[in-house]
Amino acid sequence: MTAGIIRNIVIVGGGTAGWMAAAALSKVLGTQKYSLTLIESDEIGTVGVGEATIPTIQEFNRMLEIDENTFMRETNASFKLGIRFLNWSAQGSDYFHPFGTYGLDMNGINFTHYWMRYHLAGGSADFGLFNPQTLAARQNKFGRMAEINPKAPNVNYAFHFDASLYAKFLRAYSEEKGVVRREGKINAVAQAPDSGDVESVTLEDGGTINGDLFIDCSGFRGLLIEQTLKSGYTDWSHWLPCNRAVAVPCEKTRPITPYTQSTAREAGWQWRIPLQHRTGNGYVFCDSYLSEDKASELLLQRLDGKAQAEPRVIRFVTGHRTKQWNRNVVAVGLASGFLEPLESTSIHLVQEAVLTLLRYFPGKVITDTLRDCFNRDMLAAYDNVKDFLIAHYKVTKREDTDFWAHCKRMEIPDSVKFRLAAFEEHNHSLVEANELFKEASWFAVLVGQGLRPLSYAPQADVMAKEEFDWRMDRIREGTAALAGVMPLHESYIAGVCASRQRVGT
Ligand SMILES: Cc1cc2nc3c(=O)[nH]c(=O)nc-3n(C[C@H](O)[C@H](O)[C@H](O)COP(=O)(O)OP(=O)(O)OC[C@H]3O[C@@H](n4cnc5c(N)ncnc54)[C@H](O)[C@@H]3O)c2cc1C
């Protein structure tokens, strides 16, 4: 138990994690009762990547009462309807993991079971026909349904944005709310001799900042959570072997696609993230199968626009900090772990950590129970994402390179084995209520990679054929109509950026 009133909160780091934490804490806790200080070092800088998100970020923006149109304009953002996966199952394969569900659940049965009936009776193998995000993405279209047709079902989305502009945007927001920014490099950390709690950090210029609660957003180095408190690291690289990324932005190409693209390569995969002013690119790979120099060379060859910088190599180990809240230090962002960017989940995990901290925020004392609650929830969040990512690699049919042969044959955790068995035998994804990736996501990835369940829920066979065929036709038409009414993504962005209308507040 850490005694004393929590008053001075110190955020160490001003990357996406630091400024998201500062914005949320200043909004929820205010700066009257609490003092909020953020320390960042211009000399060290930020990791400089992390531009694709998932729809939960809309909730974060809404909580901050951020006008979505202003956010789009200030961060040079584009909309994202999902991820297109190329070459993952086999060379030439192509599927889409959308932010949304398929068709319509009927009689309490998930639509995917009806799709299985439809497909096995000779219906199209293209399950994307039943998802509006997939159809809109294929046509480079996007529009918020709330504006186009408020009576129509919601079409969920997320964003691609410039990470440095997002941090700048949240910095202005936080400073306006009273967060104090200190620039400088921390070169010493003082701990209380009795409790071991962090008491203060000292900057190179000699300035000392005291705190009751420290939020470690210092990136991979984990300045407080690891370098000071030695909280340990749970290494998952035997299941998620990629440990390097080389990143480079290039000139934008048209059209600006409303999706992230992930192309499987010889020793990993390449991302393509379209922004308004440029395209972000990177090759995530495992250095046991490809050198950093070769990966950089291959990435440069495979850009679809002129490179705007030298490729930059980033090294990481997939896994998470074993204790994410230790003593009076809470790790958020890369300081808490990293699961590689395949499903764009890191910024979501930042958001999750900040909201979980606010949920269990200590009153007068930090108790072991509060710490345990936080650690339990965050480890579950990491664990669920981990299982979903492993499944992407495991179900590949590729054996054309040593990397893919390894992924196909690798041992996987029992939790993933059980899920894959339930899916392959019965089309059950075993998703629990609080999991991030729902049935539709597991279905999109597993069926997208060529798996076909051997059976499906027998209730899906109860409906008479005539009614079933009629319903499936109507659902498919309705889905096409939703995508059909959307404008082209690029013209929609232009309208959004010209507008000052408040959205989602
Ligand atoms: C290759 C790659 C691709 C990624 N792609 C995505 C993606 O598409 N989507 C997604 O959601 N996430 C992605 N991520 C993750 C995402 O980049 C991070 O989650 C996000 O940027 C948060 O980073 P951070 O703020 O924790 O760390 P950083 O950006 O590294 O910030 C660390 C901060 O700490 C400060 N600091 C460090 N040491 C000191 C010190 N001694 N004194 C003072 N200040 C200090 C630094 O100056 C900096 O301000 C990706 C990550 C990688 C590596």
Task: Return averaged pLDDT per consecutive 10 residues of the chain, 505 residues in all.
Answer: 79 98 98 96 94 97 96 97 98 97 95 97 96 98 94 94 96 98 98 96 97 98 98 98 98 94 98 97 98 98 97 98 98 97 98 98 93 98 97 97 98 97 95 93 97 96 98 97 96 90 46
Looking at residue 427, its amino acid is: N
Question: Is the beta carbon of 186 within 6 A of some atom in ligand 1?
Answer: yes
CB burial of residue 310 (10 Å; 0-12, 13-18, 19+): exposed
* Best residue among 334, 349, 354 to mutate for probing ligand 1, ranked by most atoms within 8 Å of CB: 334
CA of 42 to the centre of ligand 1 (A): 13
- Active-site annotation, residues: 80
Q: What is the pLDDT of residue 2?
A: 55
Question: What b/e sequence results for 242-254 when a residue is b if at least 16 CB atoms lie within 10 Å of its CB, and e otherwise?
Answer: bbbbbbbbbebee
> What are the domain boundaries of the chain?
8-77+161-233+318-384, 101-154+413-495
Pick from 223, 266, 244, 403: nearest CA to 311: 244
Q: Which CATH architecture has domain 8-77+161-233+318-384?
A: 3-Layer(bba) Sandwich (3.50)
Is the Cβ atom of 316 under 6 angstroms away from ligand 1? yes
> Measured from the CB, is residue 341 less than 6 Å from ligand 1?
yes
Q: How far is CA 189 from CA 52, 218, 224, 287, in A?
A: 34, 13, 8, 34
Ligand 1 touching residue 385 (CB < 6 A): no
Distance from C-alpha of 350 to C-alpha of 337, rounded to nearest angstrom: 10
- Closest CA to ligand 1's atom 17: 50
98 CB within 6 A, ligand 1: no
Atom number of ligand 1 nearest to Cα 187:
41
Q: Is the CB of 52 under 6 A from ligand 1?
A: yes
Residue 344 token pair: 């764009």
Residue-level pLDDT at 505: 40
Residue 47 Cα to ligand 1 midpoint, Å, equals: 4
Note the helical H segments in 157-242. 163-176
CA–CA distance from 389 to each of 49, 157, 237, 376 (Å)?
19, 20, 12, 20
Given this model, what pLDDT does residue 499 score? 79
Is residue 455 within 8 A of residue 425, CB to CB? The reply is: yes
Ligand 1 atom with the smallest distance to the CA of 316 is 53
Å from CA of 44 to ligand 1 middle: 11
Helices 56-63 and 16-28: crossing angle, nearest 10°?
Answer: 50
In short, whether 223's Cβ falls inside 6 Å of ligand 1 is yes
For the residues of 217-232, what is the DSSP string, one character each? --GGG-TTTTTTT---
Q: Which long-range contacts (CB under 8 A, 24 or more apart) does 104-108 make?
A: 104/475, 106/463, 106/471, 107/459, 107/462, 107/463, 108/459
- Calculate how far, in angstroms, residue 43's C-alpha sits from the geometric centre of ligand 1: 14
For residue 483, report the distance from its CA to the centre of ligand 1, in Å.
Answer: 35
> Which residue owns the Cα nearest ligand 1 atom 31?
15
CA of 208 to the centre of ligand 1 (A): 24
Decide whether any atom of ligand 1 lies within 6 Å of the 346 Cβ. Answer: yes
